[in-house]
Structure 1
Amino acid sequence: MPSLLIKNARNIISMDQQRQRYPGGSIFVEDQEIKAIGTNIPYETADTVINAEGKIIYPGLINTHHHLYQTFTRNIPWAQDCELFDWLMTLYDIWRHIRPEDVYLSAMVGLGELLKSGCTTSSDHFYVFPNGISGELIDEEIRAAHDLGIRFYPTRGSMSLGRSRGGLPPDEVVQDEDIILKDTRRVIETYHDHHRFAMVKVGVAPCSPFSVSRDLLKESADLARSYGVRMHTHLAETKDEEDFCKEKLGLRPLEFMEETGWVGDDVWYAHGIWFNDHEIKKIGTCGCGVAHCPSSNMKLSSGTFPILKMLQSGVKVGVGVDGSASNDSSSMLLELKIMNLLHKLQHGATALSAEDCLHVATRGSSKVLGWEDGIGSLEVGKAADMFMVDAGRLEFAGALFDDASLPIITGTSQVDTTIVGGKVVVQDGRLVNVNEALLSTQAQAAARMLETAAKHTKIDYKKIRAREAVTNAWHYLR
Structure 2
Amino acid sequence: MQVYSAALVIPITGPSILGGSVAVKGSRILHVGERDWVLTTLAGTNFVELRTDGVLMPGLVNAHTHLQYTGMAELGQGQYHGFSDWAAAFNAIYDHTSHDWAKAAAAGANQCLRYGTTTVADVVTDAEAGSALGDIGLHGVTYWEVMDWSNSDWQDHGHDTVLAQLAKLPKTPGLGLSPHAPYSLETAPLLDVPDLARHRGMRLHIHLAESQLEAEWAAGRSGALADLWRSEVSSLHALRKFGVGHSATEFIDQLGVLGPDCHVAHGVYTTAQDRQLLRARGTTVALCPRSNQVIGLAAPPVAAYLQEG
Calculate the TM-score normalised by the size of structure 2. 0.80
> Does the C-alpha gap of structure 1 residues 231 and 187 become closer, same or farther in structure 2, counting only changes over 3 Å?
farther
Provide the residue aligned with 1:248 in structure 2. Answer: 241
Is contact 1:206-1:212 (8 Å) kept?
Answer: yes
> Does the C-alpha gap of structure 1 residues 313 and 228 become closer, same or farther in structure 2, counting only changes over 3 Å?
farther
Superposed CA RMSD in Å reads 2.7
Provide the residue aligned with 1:10 in structure 2. Answer: 7
Is contact 1:158-1:180 (8 Å) kept?
Answer: no
1:66 aligns with 2:61: no
Question: How many angstroms apart in 2 are the aligned matches of 1:236 and 1:115?
Answer: 30
Residue deviations 1:99-133, cap 9 Å, x none? 7x812111111111121221111111123x4xxxx
Shift of 1:176: 5.7
Question: How many angstroms apart in 2 are the aligned matches of 1:303 and 1:230?
Answer: 28
Matches within 5 A, 1:446-457: none
Partner amino acid, structure 1, of 2:261:
D
Question: How many angstroms apart in 2 are the aligned matches of 1:149 and 1:121?
Answer: 10
> Does the C-alpha gap of structure 1 residues 298 and 86 become closer, same or farther in structure 2, counting only changes over 3 Å?
closer
Bigger RCO of structures 1 and 2 (CA < 8 A, at least 6 apart): 1
Is contact 1:160-1:177 (8 Å) kept?
Answer: no
Provide the residue aligned with 1:50 in structure 2. Answer: 50
What is the SS of the residue equivalent to 1:227? coil
Provide the residue aligned with 1:294 in structure 2. Answer: 289
Partner amino acid, structure 2, of 1:109:
A
Question: How many angstroms apart in 2 are the aligned matches of 1:222 and 1:4?
Answer: 43
1:191 aligns with 2:171: yes
Question: How many angstroms apart in 2 are the aligned matches of 1:285 and 1:107?
Answer: 35
Question: How many angstroms apart in 1 are the aligned matches of 2:167 and 2:86?
Answer: 33
Shift of 1:185: 4.4
> Does the C-alpha gap of structure 1 residues 201 and 109 become closer, same or farther in structure 2, counting only changes over 3 Å?
same
Shift of 1:283: 1.2
Provide the residue aligned with 1:155 in structure 2. Answer: 143
Shift of 1:82: 4.1
Shift of 1:239: 2.8
> Does the C-alpha gap of structure 1 residues 85 and 270 become closer, same or farther in structure 2, counting only changes over 3 Å?
same
Q: Which runs of 5+ in 2 are unaligned?
A: 218-235
Question: How many angstroms apart in 1 are the aligned matches of 2:114 and 2:256?
Answer: 38
Q: Which runs of 5+ in 1 are unaligned?
A: 130-135, 166-174, 193-199, 315-478
2:196 to 207, 217, 223: 223
What is the SS of the residue equivalent to 1:91? helix
1:141 aligns with 2:121: no
How many residues are matched?
Answer: 277
Question: How many angstroms apart in 2 are the aligned matches of 1:179 and 1:155?
Answer: 17
> Does the C-alpha gap of structure 1 residues 92 and 48 become closer, same or farther in structure 2, counting only changes over 3 Å?
farther
- Give the share of equivalent positions with the same residue, in percent: 25
1:121 to 119, 144, 148: 119
> Does the C-alpha gap of structure 1 residues 297 and 203 become closer, same or farther in structure 2, counting only changes over 3 Å?
same
1:260 aligns with 2:260: no
Shift of 1:278: 1.7
> Does the C-alpha gap of structure 1 residues 11 and 30 become closer, same or farther in structure 2, counting only changes over 3 Å?
same
Partner amino acid, structure 2, of 1:141:
G
Shift of 1:179: 4.7
> Does the C-alpha gap of structure 1 residues 76 and 204 become closer, same or farther in structure 2, counting only changes over 3 Å?
closer
2:179 to 206, 226, 246: 206
Partner amino acid, structure 2, of 1:209:
P
Shift of 1:48: 4.5
> Does the C-alpha gap of structure 1 residues 161 and 185 become closer, same or farther in structure 2, counting only changes over 3 Å?
closer
- Bigger mean CA offset, 304-313 vs 28-37: 304-313
Question: How many angstroms apart in 2 are the aligned matches of 1:282 and 1:86?
Answer: 30
Residue deviations 1:202-252, cap 9 Å, x none? 111011112122111111011111112211111111333325765236332
